[in-house]
């Protein structure tokens, strides 16, 4: 029985020595990946479990590369059930699938969400800078002015009063529990 992911470029008419060398090379690469994962995730029972999992994920990646959505969904299901992080290929594949889907809110709403998120990041950055300068002994007005000076030429640039407004905005959000 042949599976779509079994076609990896190896031809049956290769000399046995070439096939053996290729198998040894693949085993060496697999062992390197096992060692790398062993350092990051030491809870695996043994190298054989890890190698089987890596081979399984490689088969699923190959299936996805050949156009099978089942490869992606199986990988996601497996990772979720076994509390594993998604492999890089699965994250990229999921992102590609999601970007191809039509957005129910429309592109304009999505753009507005991105702008709001970016503005929240800028506000939190300025809040953090003011807090740090204040803890170093500056007065509020000097901290706002210094933050304004430090942000010149960046997307966070603004006057000292703009820094004060950003600081107060984030501070209100923190007090109300809306800050993330």
Whether 104 is covered by a domain: the verdict is: no
What is the per-residue pLDDT for 114? 76
Q: Is the pLDDT of residue 16 over 60?
A: yes
Please tell me whether residues 33 and 81 are part of one structural domain: yes
* Cα of 69 vs its chain's centroid, Å: 21
Angstrom distance (rounded) from CA 96 to CA 92: 6
Q: Are residues 21 and 51 in the same domain?
A: yes
Q: Which parts of 138-179 are beta strand (E)?
A: none
Distance, in Å, from the CA atom of 149 to the CA atom of 143, rounded to the nearest integer, reads 10
Q: State the residue range of the domain holding 119.
A: 109-176
Question: Is residue 3 in a domain?
Answer: no
Torsion of CA 45, 88, 56, 40, to 10 degrees: -10
Q: Is the pLDDT reported for residue 5 higher than 50?
A: no
The whole-angstrom separation of Cα 36 and Cα 12 is 32
Confidence of residue 1 (pLDDT cuts 50, 70, 90): very low
- pLDDT band with cut points at 50, 70 and 90 for residue 166: very high
Q: Are residues 79 and 36 in the same domain?
A: yes
Q: What is the mean pLDDT of residues 89-105?
A: 78
Q: According to the model, what pLDDT value does residue 164 have?
A: 94
Asked if 131 and 78 sit in the same domain, the reply is no
Q: Which residue, 48, 63, 93, sits at the end of a domain?
A: 93
Q: Is the pTM of this model over 0.75?
A: no
Tens of pLDDT, residues 119-132: 888 898 899 999 99
Number of structural domains in the chain: 2
Percent of the chain residues topping a pLDDT of 90: 16
């Amino acid at each position: 029985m042949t599976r779509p992911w079994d076609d990896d470029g190896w031809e049956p008419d290769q000399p046995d020595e070439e096939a053996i060398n290729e198998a040894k090379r693949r085993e060496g690469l697999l062992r390197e990946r096992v060692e790398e994962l062993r350092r990051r995730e030491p809870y695996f029972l043994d190298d054989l479990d890890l190698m089987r999992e890596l081979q399984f994920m490689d088969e699923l990646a190959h299936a996805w590369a050949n156009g099978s959505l089942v490869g992606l969904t199986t990988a996601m299901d497996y990772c979720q059930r076994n509390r594993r992080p998604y492999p890089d290929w699965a994250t990229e594949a999921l992102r590609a699938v999601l970007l191809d889907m039509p957005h129910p809110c429309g592109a304009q709403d999505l753009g507005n969400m991105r702008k709001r998120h970016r503005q929240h990041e800028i506000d939190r950055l300025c809040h953090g800078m003011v807090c740090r300068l204040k803890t170093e002994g500056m007065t509020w007005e000097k901290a706002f002015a210094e933050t304004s000076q430090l942000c010149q030429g960046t997307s966070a640039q603004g006057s000292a009063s703009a820094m004060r407004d950003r600081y107060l905005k984030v501070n209100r959000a923190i007090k109300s529990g809306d800050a993330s």
